[in-house]
Amino acid sequence: MSLTVAFWILAVMSVGTALAVIFARDIFHAALFLIVCFFAVAGIYVTLNADFLAAIQVLVYIGAVSVLLIFGIMLTREAKRGSPAGKLRIPALIVAFVLLGVMIGSILSFDWQPAAGMDEMVRTQDIAGLIFSENGYVLTFEIAGLMLLAAIIGAIVLVRKE
Amino acid sequence: MADIPEFAVWLIFLIPVFSAALIAVVIRPFFNNKAQFAGYITITSIGVSLLLSLWTLYSVLGSPHHELEFHAHQWVVIGSTQVSLGIMVDSLTATMLLVVSLCSLMVQIYSQGYMHGDPGYARYYAAMSLFTGSMLGLVLAGNLIQLYVFWELVGLCSYLLIGFWFHRPSAAAAAKKAFLVTRLGDFGLLAAILYLYFKTGTVDIGELHYLAVTGAIAASALTLAAIGIFAGAVGKSAQFPLHVWLPDAMEGPTPVSALIHSATMVSAGVFLVARMFPIFIGSETALTVVASIGAFTAIFAASMALVATDIKRVLAYCTISQLGYMMLGLGAAGLVAVEEGHVTLELAKAVTAVGIFHLVTHAFAKAMLFLGSGSVNHATGTFDMRLMGGLRKHLPWTYLTFLIGSVCMAGVWPLACFWSKDEILVKAFEMGDARMILFYLGMITAFMTAFYMFRAVFLTFHGAYRGGAHGEAHGKNDHGHGEVHLHESPKVMLIPLLLLMVLAITAGLANVTGWFDRFFGGHHVYAWSHLHEALWNPEVLRHSHYIPLISFVVALLAIDLASAIYNSRWISAEAIGRMFRSFYKVFYRKYWFDELYEQVIIVRVLVNGVFRICQVFDTYVVDGLVNGVAGGTMLAGRVIRKAETGRLQTYALVMFLGILIIIGLVYWIT
Amino acid sequence: MNYYLLTPEMCLAGAAIAVILLDLVIARKGILRFVSIAALAACIVVSIALWSRQDNDLFNGMIKVDQFAIFFKVLLSGVAILVLLASKDYVSKFSHFEGEYYGLILLSVVGMMLMAASRDLITIYVSLELTSISLYALVGFLKDPKSSEAGLKYLLLGAVASGVLLYGMALIFGITGETGLAEIASALPAGRIWENPLLLLGLIFLIGGFGFKIASVPFQMWVPDVYEGAPTTVTAYLSVASKAAGFAVILRVFLEAFGGDVLPDWTMIFAVLGAISMTLGNVIAISQTNIKRMLGYSSIAQAGYLMVGLAAATRVAEVDDPVLFGPTGLIFFLGCYALANLGAFIAIIAITNKIKSDSIDDFAGMGSHAPLISLALTLCLISLTGIPPTAGFLAKFYLFNTAVHHDLVWLVIIGVINSAISAYYYLRVVKVTWFGTPASTESVPSSLALRTALAVACLGVLVLFFYPSPLLDVARDAAQAVAGMVLP
Amino acid sequence: MEFSDFHPLSLIIFLPVVGALLIAIVPGLDSVAIKRFAAFFTFVSFALSLATFGLFDRSESGFQFAEMVSWIPQISVNYHIGVDGLSLPLVILTTLLGFLAVLLSWKVTLRPKEYFAWLLILESSILGVFCSLDLLLFFIFWEVEVIPMYFLISVWGGGRRAYSAMKYVIYTMFGGAMMLAGILTLYATAGTFDVTILAQTDFGGLVAVIPLAATFWLLLTAFAIKLPVFPLHTWLPDAHTDAPTAVSVMLAGSLLKMGGYGMIRICVTIFPDIARDYAHILVILAVIGVLYGAAITIRQTDLKRLIAYSSVSHMGYVLLGIFALSELSITGAALQMFSHGIVTGLLFAMVGLVYDKTHVRSIPELGGLARQMPIIALVFSIAGLASLGLPGTSGFVAEFTVFVGSFTSTTVAGIKIYTLLGALAIVVTAGYILWMLERVFYREPKSKYDGVGDADNLEKFYIFTLVVVIMLVGIYPRILTDVIDVWVTGMPLP
Amino acid sequence: MSIGLEHYLVLSAILFCIGLYGAVVKRNTVVVLMCIEIMLNAVNITLVAFSRYLVPESVVLEGQIFVIFVMVVAAAEAAVGLALIVSVYRNRRTVDASEIDLMKG
């Protein structure tokens, strides 16, 4: 029951803050709503027994991504122009709603067999074991490392002035 | 003397053709300064042809059925189709060979004088050689394809010769007109050849003759084929309604006109009908058409000759008219033969004697008349009779020959044309019934012929001289004969004239005894003999036996009338002209046929009508569609690229829209 | 484990890091290029040596260094070598960042190679992102207005597309509970695609994500802008390598995971998208005036042709010959297209370096003062048009031949008509190059490296026309390697 | 040399390419050297083709001098070439015109290197089309020809050359596209590209990917564009008019024949039954083309455009002959292709000479030229007369054979009427040819052309060469019919 | 009604579409980047939900591992994205998506 309550609160919160990100006049407010949204998503992970992911969510999204974004906002000094919306509002709205309808329709029409699920917490070791085992994702992990390297080099090259 | 071997017959037309090639390829390019050799070569080669023709005639006379048998030579093989080369020599061929080579020889000799000094001398003789050679080849052709080949070559040569002075717009136009009008007729001949080949699988003339008279070809098919062949003859022989080219054809040098009007070009049509007569005789319709067109053309052309002021034009209309006679003769003789009953191949060939005999006599007379008119021109520098007069004093020999020619043409006893023309009138009369109208037309034409011929004689040679070429009627380039000297022509021009005169006087005698008819395989006795006989035995007398007499009288009346108007001037020509002003105008304007053809049909209806519509359609519809599709594609490109706004959010939206469309499509299709 | 199977990737990753580090200490930057090329060459040699190995699984089947993967490794390395050779005349524009440039290229090559070899959605996704992120940076590398704008557009749209792809992968994962391609294939519910909307959604999201990479309509909108703005060497690389990797991953995923009941459905979707792509690309390319932009649209059209190969991946009872299998044609086409497109771009690099303009009109008269380069450009454009005697012709012919054998005559007719349309804009460039009035008469300088690259490309274009059999055999083996579900 | 060891075809085809490469590669060639190179290589090719003609076995109906090398074994594509009675005359026509085209271009001064290289490549590609016995090879040569044509028209042409060149390319590529689709469907059905095998294939037992009739039409469309057949002809007047003289000669003389050749070699030989099914509509199109082309020709005021449009009309006879589907009519079509090649080639050469001398092509502006340029007038007249089918020229032999063959064909209902309608065009043809001759060469000479010269010796050489060929075929058609006959009797006609 | 897989999936879909709408509509490219992050988060919810609910007896760990990698990717993308935004800003003095249209057509 508590799970249900938590879900609804978190769900409303995440959707609400996501909408707020979009409709906020002030770009800083948008960033803040985004952080709240990330928190809500972290909470949702918890309701899904993925505590480890929730932790990473907080660390990566709030600790890194959000900060980056705020840096971006400040570096570009666009805050004074607010956060206006473009001309494509109506078509975008239609597309978004139709797509949402299609997605929800598809999801609900699918015959989900294991609707109940397990309440057992996922152990971090299991995740680590799968990532770092030879039968798991150790290569992927290495690729992700290369990707970060590429991102770092790219970011440096792009931002550094000659 | 032995029978002529086959190769010698081939040589009859090959020698002139080779001489043409020799002049064109060797003399003209490399020895143009010795152009006189071109004349000698031509005269020699045609002379040889004449000798060989005589030999041929001799051999034909000596052979059974008056026919020499030669086998065809295989030429081209395509699959199951074989085309052969062969020659056909019978009495018709032999006659034509003689007439053609003789007339041509006379004309070539005459040209030595007439064309002397012309810059195109060699070219002239090359074309003349080829012209003669083609005509001889046409006469000898053993199958229709061969015949068609020479038929077209004759047309080509007439084109080259009529347009000999190509720098004169009128000559260039006349040459083109001649070729095109005859080609229209050729289309009919071509269609007939295709049709006959389709029906019988052969183009061999001998085989076709046989198949036609044995009934192997249906009568309706014969009618179609005969009409097609006749269309070709109508074009070449300038019959109504394709007569328009011949009067203009006088734009060529006068000797050319002489040749065209006598033995080569126009007689080819008559020859063709005679050659294919077994096909015509199988179809009464076709024969009626031939006779009717002939009779109508005869009077139709004569009417225009009445008012022509150009001496060559008078002669030209006269030619058309006489060709009409020949057609009438062929058609009428055929119809009479059909009425008399069973038609055999021999009979079918024999009845052509009537038309061909007139062809022969007319050829000599007409060649002489044209050469005479050339002689007149040589002296006066013009062809306009209004500018002549009184020339008999200055050109006595020319006057003599021209007079004899006219008398002959008018059908006065005992000159050549009298005999042949009367035979035609007799046949026309014998047809009876409604076809009698053709006879009356012929008789009226006889009157008109005598009248206009003597009108020409009187205007040209009698009265007082009216000034020659001061009117610049033909411009300064006129023949290179601009200098007026009222002198008789040189001997080289007179001798052929005199030779032809002899023939024009005597040629008719060939049939006085019916010899010519028999030569063609017939058994008729000439009407004049009947009359002669009937005078002593009145009980055998028939109406038709009076006809020669009547026509003789008619001719004399016409000559008197012409004399009254143009010589003694008892009657004013102007007054008559005023009296029949509307007729005069119609005749003088040639029934507006030139205008109808050139301005209405060709220019208005075709070139600026149908053809223009085609062109507009091509430019704006066919090509417009192509350019429209291309332009549409480009335009589409330019429009669609507008969607590439440069704004990344449009792009993102398109992505999602695309996803939705794909999903929609998947469901829509299933 | 057979880690040596990963030698090429390790080699390149090491070289990338080495190049970046060496950049700090070495003054002669030419050495960096040499090192990179050496690494790529080594990668080619090693890959070829691994060609016929049977035992080629790694990480429990997550990576498979089969002939398919090896083909793409060789192709991508070769492309990278040619691009790096041609970069010699271009890198001066990158001022201090040469090492990073080479490093990023090498890293992207690693990503692409892994895309072709991966058989697990997670690895595929991460490899794809490795490629993408390197390319985002490379596109914006010049840092001038156009380049950075192109980079930003590429990144934002690429991120959206990767979001779509990811959602698709998530749905597939949700439906099957697996991330490995082989496992997905066996866990996939039976039935055609319209019987399972969620699977349809997932598949179409996958197509969207991958379609972005290969520049298929309607995910192609970024192409002209990015091609125009990116450094020309990067455009060349992007137009060939990125597209090749995109097709590699599509072939891998769709043939290995979706070779079952839904095979006819996604091939039909690709057929339709291909038809639209080629038409749209060609029609808009006609009105372009910027050569890079024009080639951008042309690459959309070429993607359309390539998709014919995807469409002809169906199972047809009468045709079980791998020679007539669509992907065989696709792989062959990719090889020919890579050479021709690279050749064209290398020639353009040489010419634009001199004339400082991307406008087609400014190519006027290049034929007289840069005859060889113009000749090469001509040859490559003719190959792209698909006119003999060039590889492009045979490629198109072969590809369409496979399509006809799979009952796609309608698509082939659209394709061949499009070839005709494309002649319009390709030949216009050729004509301007040779017969326009030149603005100047100075010769066009180019380095030996660039000329070598150009010569290799052109020679390849010709050789593949006259002697295509070896590449066809390779293509057949490669296609057979991924098409276990479809081919007997 | 043993008969069987003589493999001249590859040499004939590729010698011009070798010449082109040498011209392009050898540095420092001056314009005269380039022309001599070109003349040499084209002449050798011509001489070899004559030798082939001489050695051709006139009693054997199959392909001779065949060469076969495996090329793409995966889809059984071979380099397979050979000639038979249909292709041999066209090969000779092409090598002859190729050689003469080089001579015709002797006065080209703009970029001679590129010009002659392209011209020689063009010749090779046309030869390749006529010799190929493998459909892919055929198609390759067919497509290769586009590039040289594009450059030759768009660079060395006149008038709206860019438009015309692009129009030509797009039309040809469009046709090529159709043909490619046709070839592929044919391959998918029969499993071979080899023409000789396809000709003997019984399609009744095969499963076709698309209806065979559709394949037939795909292929036919390509050939119809090239021939050209109404309503796909509008590229022709533009391309011919704006191309340089030698290219017009090649285009009209040789290139158009690819269409007719393809129709016979592929459409009729491989699908005789389908050809019969659709012969009716094609014969109607042929007659429309003949009459419609002639009608438009009369209206032209540009000398070159007039000749160009006349091709539409004359090639209609080829189509008529082909789809009348009788031995004789197809022979006629083959003859007409050869004849039209020589005659119209000569006509274009003459137009080029007139234009060279006077720099005028507008017919109303010309006039009376026969006085100033008698040789040109003479040869132009001969060519014109050959074009209107005068006996003694090749035009007559060809047209007459087509008429007889079509008229007596039993395949198409109403063919007699169509043939006669088509034959009616001989009058219109005579009209436009003679009217043109009259307006250009006859009438009063114009003083502004007084200084223009006549043909020089080189020009005389090539125009009289063509005249000789025209007369030779006209007088002794056996020289061609003997070769054609062995092939046509072996044709699978319905 | 207890919370099940569908709830999470629908929530995820809603968030995805919100992100989508924002990404298409917002003119500030930084906000666009934020919206893209929302989309990725939405997908992550789906993945985690699947990994929780898919198999009755055990968690499918691949889902969670996928999420970890997505987060890494998201961070990297954000970094490069911001670098590019800064680069554009330096050149153009704007980060307005509707003004970044030097290249079009």
Give the tens place of pLDDT for each residue, B293-302. 999 999 888 8
D126 vs D12: CA distance, rounded Å: 11
> What residues in D contact B130, CB-CB < 8 Å?
none
Q: Which residues contact C33 (CB under 8 A, 6 or more apart)?
A: C84, C87, C88, C91, C98, C102, C449
> What residues in B contact C287, CB-CB < 8 Å?
634, 637-638, 641
When pLDDT is averaged across residues B167-172 and rounded to a whole number, the result is 88
Contact between C130 and C259 (Cβ < 8 Å): no
A156 touching chain C per CB within 8 A: yes
pLDDT tens profile B213-249? 888 888 888 899 999 999 999 998 888 888 888 888 8
Q: For residue D184, give how far its alpha carbon lies from the nearest alpha carbon of chain B (Å).
A: 26
pLDDT tens profile D462-489? 899 999 999 999 988 888 988 888 888 8
When pLDDT is averaged across residues E76-97 and rounded to a whole number, the result is 90
**What's the token pair of residue B428?**
């026309």
pLDDT tens profile C311-333? 998 877 666 688 888 999 999 99
Residue of E nearest to B655 (CA): E24
Chain A: partners with 3+ C-beta pairs within 8 Å = B, C, E
> What residues in D contact C433, CB-CB < 8 Å?
none
| Per-residue pLDDT band at E1 (split at 50, 70, 90) | low
| C-beta contacts of D479-482 below 8 A and 24+ residues apart | D480/D89, D480/D334, D480/D335, D480/D338, D481/B76, D481/B77, D481/B78, D481/D331, D481/D335, D482/B77, D482/D58
B545 vs B541: CA distance, rounded Å: 7
DSSP string for residues in C124-179: HHHHHHHHHHHHHHHHTTT-SHHHHHHHHHHHHHHHHHHHHHHHHHHHHHHHHS--
Question: Which residues are C118's β-sheet partners?
Answer: C63
Task: Report the candidate in D158, D37, D235, D118 with the shortest Cα–Cα distance to residue C430.
Answer: D118
DSSP string for residues in D386-428: HHTT-TTSHHHHHHHHHHHHHHT--SSTTHHHHHHHHHHHHHH
Average pLDDT, chain A: 86
| Per-residue pLDDT band at C47 (split at 50, 70, 90) | very high
When pLDDT is averaged across residues D426-440 and rounded to a whole number, the result is 90
When pLDDT is averaged across residues B559-579 and rounded to a whole number, the result is 80
| Per-residue pLDDT band at B475 (split at 50, 70, 90) | very low
pLDDT above 70: residue C474? yes
Q: Which residues contact B358 (CB under 8 A, 6 or more apart)?
A: B322, B325, B326, B329, B417, B420, B421, B423, B424
> What residues in C contact E91, CB-CB < 8 Å?
143-145, 148-149
Q: Which of B76, B79, B172 lies at the smallest CB-CB distance from D443? A: B172
B84 vs B202: CA distance, rounded Å: 10
Tell me whether residues E103 and C174 touch, CB distance under 8 A.
Answer: no
Tell me whether residues D180 and C424 touch, CB distance under 8 A.
Answer: no
Q: Which of A86, A99, A102 lies at the smallest CB-CB distance from B649? A: A86
C134 touching chain A per CB within 8 A: yes
DSSP string for residues in B150-164: HHHHHHHHHHHHHTT
B596 vs B593: CA distance, rounded Å: 5
Contact between D454 and D369 (Cβ < 8 Å): no
Tell me whether residues D391 and B152 touch, CB distance under 8 A.
Answer: yes
The pLDDT value recorded for residue E78 is: 92
When pLDDT is averaged across residues D209-224 and rounded to a whole number, the result is 91
Q: For residue E63, give how far its alpha carbon lies from the nearest alpha carbon of chain A (Å).
A: 10
When pLDDT is averaged across residues D394-399 and rounded to a whole number, the result is 91
Q: For residue E70, give how far its alpha carbon lies from the nearest alpha carbon of chain B (Å).
A: 21
Work out how many CB contacts closer than 8 A connect B with D.
138
C145 vs C57: CA distance, rounded Å: 46
C155 vs C150: CA distance, rounded Å: 8
**What's the token pair of residue B133?**
């050679």
pLDDT tens profile C415-449? 999 998 898 899 889 888 887 887 777 777 888 99
pLDDT above 90: residue D126? yes
User: What's the distance, Cα to Cα, between the start and end of chain B in Å?
Assistant: 100
Indicate the SS3 state at residue B416: helix
**What's the token pair of residue D320?**
């008529």
Task: Report the candidate in D175, D302, D173, D316 with the shortest Cα–Cα distance to residue D240.
Answer: D302
Indicate the SS3 state at residue D77: strand
The pLDDT value recorded for residue B344 is: 82
% residues pLDDT > 70 (chain B): 93
> What residues in B contact D396, CB-CB < 8 Å?
149, 152
> What residues in B contact C212, CB-CB < 8 Å?
655
| Per-residue pLDDT band at A151 (split at 50, 70, 90) | very high
Which of B156-160, C364-368, D18-22 is least confident?
C364-368
B417 vs B412: CA distance, rounded Å: 8
The pLDDT value recorded for residue D414 is: 87
Residue with structure tokens 């060349």? Answer: C236
Which of B62-71, B158-167, C473-482 is least confident?
B62-71
Task: Report the candidate in D289, D277, D296 with the shortest Cα–Cα distance to residue D315.
Answer: D289
The pLDDT value recorded for residue A114 is: 58
Q: Which of B156, B171, B198 lies at the smallest CB-CB distance from D408? A: B198
Residue of C nearest to D185 (CA): C404
Q: Is the torsion defined by CA of C437, C353, C108, E30 positive or negative?
A: negative
Please give the biggest Cα pair distance in chain D: 73
A148 touching chain E per CB within 8 A: yes
Which of A86-90, C79-83, E71-75 is least confident?
A86-90
> What residues in B contact D385, CB-CB < 8 Å?
156
Residue of C nearest to D138 (CA): C388
pLDDT tens profile B300-345? 888 888 888 888 888 888 889 999 989 998 888 888 888 877 778 8
Task: Report the candidate in C305, C214, C201 with the shortest Cα–Cα distance to residue C251.
Answer: C214
> What residues in C contact A78, CB-CB < 8 Å?
none
pLDDT above 50: residue B473? no
Residue with structure tokens 């932790």? Answer: A55
Tell me whether residues A99 and E17 touch, CB distance under 8 A.
Answer: yes
Tell me whether residues E88 and C146 touch, CB distance under 8 A.
Answer: no
DSSP string for residues in D190-228: HS--BHHHHHT--GGGS--SS-HHHHHHHHHHHHHHHTT
What backbone phi and psi angles, to 5 degrees, belong to B485? -145, 110
Chain B: partners with 3+ C-beta pairs within 8 Å = A, C, D, E
| Per-residue pLDDT band at C101 (split at 50, 70, 90) | very high
Amino acid at E3: I
The pTM score is 0.91
C-alpha B170: how far from chain center: 20
Work out how many CB contacts closer than 8 A connect B with E.
30
The pLDDT value recorded for residue D2 is: 46
When pLDDT is averaged across residues E85-99 and rounded to a whole number, the result is 88
The pLDDT value recorded for residue D206 is: 81
Q: Which of E25, E31, E72 lies at the smallest CB-CB distance from A89? A: E25
Tell me whether residues D143 and C419 touch, CB distance under 8 A.
Answer: no
The pLDDT value recorded for residue A117 is: 52
% residues pLDDT > 70 (chain A): 91
CA geometry: angle at B586 spanning B583 and B592, to 5°? Answer: 170
**What's the token pair of residue D90?**
């066209």
The pLDDT value recorded for residue C105 is: 94
The pLDDT value recorded for residue A97 is: 93
| Per-residue pLDDT band at B474 (split at 50, 70, 90) | very low
B54 vs B51: CA distance, rounded Å: 5
C-alpha B194: how far from chain center: 22
Q: For residue C34, give how far its alpha carbon lies from the nearest alpha carbon of chain D (Å).
A: 33
Which of B457-466, C173-182, D288-297, D358-367 is least confident?
B457-466
Q: For residue E40, give how far its alpha carbon lies from the nearest alpha carbon of chain C (Å).
A: 6
B387 vs D118: CA distance, rounded Å: 67
Contact between D35 and D120 (Cβ < 8 Å): no
The pLDDT value recorded for residue D210 is: 85
Tell me whether residues D154 and C413 touch, CB distance under 8 A.
Answer: no
A83 vs E32: CA distance, rounded Å: 10
Tell me whether residues D144 and C400 touch, CB distance under 8 A.
Answer: no
pLDDT tens profile D65-107? 989 999 988 888 999 999 988 999 999 999 999 999 999 998 8
Question: Which residues are C63's β-sheet partners?
Answer: C58, C118
Q: How far, CA to CA in Å, does B2 sit from each of B12, B56, B654, C447, C479?
A: 17, 10, 102, 95, 91
Tell me whether residues D147 and C323 touch, CB distance under 8 A.
Answer: no
Indicate the SS3 state at residue D282: helix
Q: How many residues in chain D? A: 494
Q: For residue A8, give how far its alpha carbon lies from the nearest alpha carbon of chain C (Å).
A: 22
E30 touching chain B per CB within 8 A: no
Q: Which of A92, A98, A102 lies at the smallest CB-CB distance from B653? A: A92
Tell me whether residues E24 and B646 touch, CB distance under 8 A.
Answer: no
R_g of chain D, CA atoms, integer Å: 21
Contact between C154 and C146 (Cβ < 8 Å): no
pLDDT tens profile A35-58? 999 999 999 999 888 888 999 999
D404 touching chain C per CB within 8 A: no
Average pLDDT, chain C: 90
For E102, counting Cβ atoms within 10 Å of its Cβ (0-12 exposed, 13-18 middle, 19+ buried), the class is: middle
Average pLDDT, chain D: 89
When pLDDT is averaged across residues B356-365 and rounded to a whole number, the result is 88
Q: How far, CA to CA in Å, does D320 sit from each of B513, D114, D402?
A: 56, 39, 7
Separate counts of helices (H) and strands (E) for chain E: 3, 0
Q: For residue E51, give how far its alpha carbon lies from the nearest alpha carbon of chain A (Å).
A: 9
Which has more confidence, D448 or D19?
A: D19
> What residues in C contact D146, CB-CB < 8 Å?
387, 423
A149 touching chain E per CB within 8 A: no
D114 touching chain C per CB within 8 A: yes
A/D touch flag: 3 or more CB pairs below 8 Å: no
Contact between B247 and B351 (Cβ < 8 Å): no
What backbone phi and psi angles, to 5 degrees, belong to D13? -70, -45
> What residues in A contact E71, CB-CB < 8 Å?
56-57, 60-61
Where is mean pLDDT largest: C91-100, C192-201, D53-62, D92-101? D92-101
**What's the token pair of residue D314?**
């004359």
**What's the token pair of residue B390?**
């009184």
User: What's the distance, Cα to Cα, between the start and end of chain A in Å?
Assistant: 59
Residue of B nearest to C158 (CA): B652
> What residues in B contact C193, CB-CB < 8 Å?
666
**What's the token pair of residue B413?**
């006893």
Contact between B473 and B382 (Cβ < 8 Å): yes
Contact between C354 and C401 (Cβ < 8 Å): no
Q: Which of B634, B648, B655 lies at the smallest CB-CB distance from C218? A: B655
Tell me whether residues C204 and B651 touch, CB distance under 8 A.
Answer: no
Q: How far, CA to CA in Å, does B62 sit from each of B56, B70, B91, B275, B345?
A: 10, 16, 11, 21, 20
**What's the token pair of residue B177?**
């007109």
ipTM: 0.91
| Per-residue pLDDT band at B434 (split at 50, 70, 90) | confident
